[in-house]
Amino acid sequence: MQDATAQMALLQFMTAGRTKVAVPSTVHCDHLIQAKVNGDVDLKGSLDINSEVFDFLQSISNKYGIGFWKPGAGIIHQVVLENYAFPGGMMIGTDSHTVNAGGLGMVAIGVGGADAVDVMAGMAWELKMPKLIGVKLTGKLSGWTSPKDVILKVAGILTVKGGTGAIVEYFGEGATAMSCTGKGTICNMGAEIGATTSTFGYDESMSRYLRSTGRAEVADLADKIAPYLTADAECYAQPEKYFDQVIEINLSTLEPHINGPFTPDLATPVSQMKEVLKGKDWPVEVKVGLIGSCTNSSYEDISRAASLAKQAIDKNIKVVSEFTITPGSEQVRYTIERDGFIDIFEQIGASVFANACGPCIGQWDRAGADKKEKNTIIHSFNRNFSKRADGNPNTHAFVASPEIVTAIAMAGRLDFNPMTDKLINKNGEVVMLDEPTGFELPPRGFDVEDAGFIAPAEDGSGVVVKVHPQSDRLQLLDPFAPITNDQVLNMKLLIKAKGKCTTDHISMAGPWLTYRGHLANIANNTLIGAVNAYNDETNKVLNLTENTYMAVPDSARAYQAKGIGTIVFGEENYGEGSSREHAAMQPRFLGVKAVVVKSFARIHETNLKKQGMLALTFANPADYDKIRQDDTISILGFDSMKPGEPLTILLNHTDGTEEKFPVNHTYNQAQIDWVKWGSALNQIRSELNIS
């Protein structure tokens, strides 16, 4: 669990009646560290600002037998790959990029905090049986092309929802020739295609990585049963017989890609960017290049980027754009410092941020972002939604490999193609960049003085969990009351969201991370980023009881104060992005009874179910257009809700007419029981006889 989602997950776990977690569990402090100056300064500032939350997480981890990785230890997914991931294992994590561990042959799945509570409490965890998508990789990567380009290409093929309900498995000669951390990069960004998870079969690269990270014993065990940690030969020989969908990519001809802006599936080969830009109003000048994050912060990634930075020094090239590096873990940071890479980066004017998520999740105090000027940045992160990196809706963020980001930062232009284009150095000489080079693993091995791990007490019964009663950052939770049939009758519309509505739109990150442990306060950002279909504005909806336009949370509270339930409507892939369950808990807290959309992202749909809400989909997507902002809305059939049977929406229009249409759901009987109990956690408490 990472610190932003762990707060709410562990606040829920406290009420489950357990004295210790039932499975090995860890907390990683990586989301609350804001990038501004450099690693040392920013980490110290975060410790000062967030001490209350870090103290809570450390104390509750100590009490319940949870390993604690302190601030500065690194990004959860990099730390997990280095310490916990192993071939053939299964893991869940309260972050959508948990799937990163697929690079070591795991089935690693991102979930909401309520799912994590179930597992930590020793309860069963369920998942609808996914489809299988096979990606056959032929040929071999070389030159400027990297593993990042594989997933950027796949995102362009499948789009942000093409992997929904599926496990993606990569195989073929190109897969086995790839480094373990490169595999992790591909699996990491599988979250951006909606995949349940992504994975690779066990091979020698994984064995090498395990040994390099001090886990030779695990490698020895895996080597002995290697044939059982990958698919049978006939599956890969005739993949169309065993996979629901097969994609084939020739790595020998694959070229570097740049994806974006505003969505990670808008894929453009580098060689085509000049032509694409002719028809766009995207700013060509690149203001900032950023490398690192959980997706691309391995030793291999950093060493290849450093080889280009060294060329800038040797060839006297001025780096035009601002340039930043975010190491993925203290082990990586310490090792790249020892090997001289940080010095190389600093020589070209780069800033090295703390071992944390930073700009990737909006924790970037970027100078001038408040001016909301139109600009372009390029990074090696995973997501590039509007406002995500710096809060500026006019920042055009593009995603690429660390190598391409570094090269484009040197040129300062989005249309720069390092394979063909030349640069003018400080002496006025024409120079070209050579292909990047690097190391799969550190030639001298990894090294670290303090990795940042704190083991829990053997007996935590005497440990006091630190939550101040007057805190505005942490709040003990009260159970949600079950939704009743009367409450889903005569509801009012809270918002009809138009277009893309991610978890960032529903519950923004950035400065709002401050309140991730305080439901009442974090609820004040509920759906403030969603676009109102009736006026194309954000955070401005019509409240019928007050007969005025209000901010979305204010409107919800006004209805709630009068005992009126509310409902939310949306479009495709609603709730894509982060696993944050706040995007479900906040509407639930504010009195929303149901969310009805054209389609859901997997994790968000599950999160809504876990919190005892109705997550419904239009049987006919065109019915979305029938909803008027002044309708009175009822859901019929709630009391007799059964698996596989649609419910009915009744719209009472103000002109005296009415319309009905069916809505589908995917609830099984156990999930319907969650609704009847008020939440999955309420049911767990009951089964454990906790009052």
pLDDT tens digits, residue range 411-457? 999 999 999 999 999 999 999 999 999 999 999 999 999 999 999 99
Contact indicator for 568, 593 with CB cutoff of 8 Å = no
**Which residues sit opposite 649 in a β-bridge?**
635, 661
DSSP 15: G
Q: Known catalytic residues?
A: 30-31, 95, 383, 578, 580
- Global pTM value: 0.88
Using DSSP, state whether 560 is helix, strand or coil.
helix
Q: How confident is the model at residue 9 (pLDDT cuts 50, 70, 90)?
A: very high
CA 510 remoteness from chain centre: 13
| Backbone phi and psi for residue 525, each to the nearest 5 degrees, phi listed first | -110, 15
Q: 101-120: per-residue pLDDT in tens?
A: 999 999 999 998 889 998 99
Give the per-residue pLDDT at 309.
98
Classify each residue of 256-274 as buried b or exposed e, where b means 16 or more C-beta atoms within 10 Å of its C-beta.
Answer: bbbbbbbbbbbbbbbeebe
Q: State residue 57 phi and psi, 5-degree precision.
A: -65, -40
What value does the mean pLDDT take over residues 528-546? 97
Report residue 73 CA to chain centroid gap: 19
| Side chain identity, residue 539 | N
> Given this model, what pLDDT does residue 691 score?
44
Distance (Å, rounded) from C-alpha 369 to C-alpha 375? 10
**pLDDT value, residue 690:** 53
Give pLDDT, residue 685: 81
**What is the Cα–Cα distance from 145 to 151, expressed in whole angstroms?**
12
Residue 371 contacts by C-beta under 8 Å, 6 or more apart in sequence? 392
Q: What is the DSSP letter of 35?
A: B
**Residue 647 region, left (φ>0) first, then alpha (ψ -120 to 50), else beta?**
beta
Q: Span 486-687: which CATH code? A: 3.20.19.10
257-431 under CATH 3.30.499.10, yes or no = yes
Q: How far is Cα 424 from Cα 411, in angstroms, rounded to an integer?
A: 9
Across the range 184-213, mean pLDDT stands at: 97
Cα 400 from chain centroid (whole Å)? 17
Q: Give the list of residues 6+ apart from residue 74 with CB closer than 8 angstroms, or none.
A: 28, 30, 327, 328, 329, 330, 331, 332, 333, 355, 356, 452
Q: Which residues pair with 650 in a beta bridge?
A: 634, 660
Average pLDDT, the chain: 96
Identify the pLDDT of residue 580. Answer: 85
Annotate 481-514 with b (16+ C-beta within 10 A) or e (fewer): eebeeebbbebbbbbbbbebbbbbbbbbbbebbb
Q: Where exactly are the structural domains of the chain?
A: 104-110+124-250, 257-431, 486-687
How far is Cα 685 from Cα 22, in angstroms, rounded to an integer? 15
Q: How far is CA 183 from CA 202, 389, 418, 428, in A?
A: 11, 25, 24, 40
Torsion of CA 201, 202, 206, 211, to 10 degrees: 160
* Whether the Cβ atoms of residue 58 and residue 454 lie closer than 8 Å to each other: yes
At 160 the pLDDT is 92
Residue 349 parent element (H or E):
none
- Helices vs. strands in the chain: H and E counts, helices first: 23, 27
For residue 197, CA distances in Å to 186, 293, 482, 570, 601 come to: 11, 19, 32, 25, 13
- Cα dist from 60 to 12, 21, 453, whole Å: 12, 11, 15
Distance from C-alpha of 639 to C-alpha of 550, rounded to nearest angstrom:
32
- Read off the pLDDT of each residue in 220-243 and give the average, rounded to a whole number: 97
Query: What DSSP string runs through 455-516?
Result: PPPS--TTPPP---TT-SSB-PPPPPPPP-TGGGSSEEEEEEB-S---HHHHB--GGGGGGT
- The radius of gyration of the chain's CA atoms, rounded to the nearest angstrom, is 25
Q: What is the mean pLDDT of residues 634-653?
A: 98
The residue with greater pLDDT, 167 or 114, is 167
Phi then psi for 562, rounded to 5 degrees? -100, 10
The token pair that represents 184 in the structure block: 């992790």
Q: How many CB atoms lie within 10 A of CB 178?
A: 26
Residue 318's CB: how many other CB atoms inside 10 A?
Answer: 13
Q: State the sign of the Cα–Cα–Cα–Cα dihedral 277, 281, 285, 290.
A: negative
Task: Return the residue matching tokens 């991370």.
Answer: 513
Residue 276: CB atoms within 10 A of its CB come to 15
pLDDT digit string, tens, across residues 259-311: 999 999 999 999 999 999 998 999 999 999 999 999 999 999 999 999 999 99
Confidence check: pLDDT of 689 > 80: no
Q: How far apart are CA 662 and CA 647, in angstroms?
A: 6
Measuring CA to CA, which residue among 532, 531, 510, 678 is closest to residue 580? 510
d(CA 514, CA 96) in angstroms, rounded, equals 20
Q: Which DSSP string do the residues of 100-155 spell out, in sequence order?
A: GGGGGT-EEEE--HHHHHHHHTT-----PPPEEEEEEEES---TT--HHHHHHHHH
What digits encode the pLDDT tens for the residues 558-603? 999 999 999 999 999 999 988 789 999 999 999 999 999 999 998 8
Query: According to the CATH classification, is domain 104-110+124-250 in 3.40.1060.10?
Result: yes
pLDDT category, 638, cuts 50, 70, 90?
very high
- Residue 272: how many CA atoms within 13 Å on its side-chain side? 11
- What whole-number distance in Å separates Cα of residue 257 and Cα of residue 254? 9
Tokens read off for 419: 């394979």
Nearest partner of 28 among 3, 47, 51, judged by Cα: 3
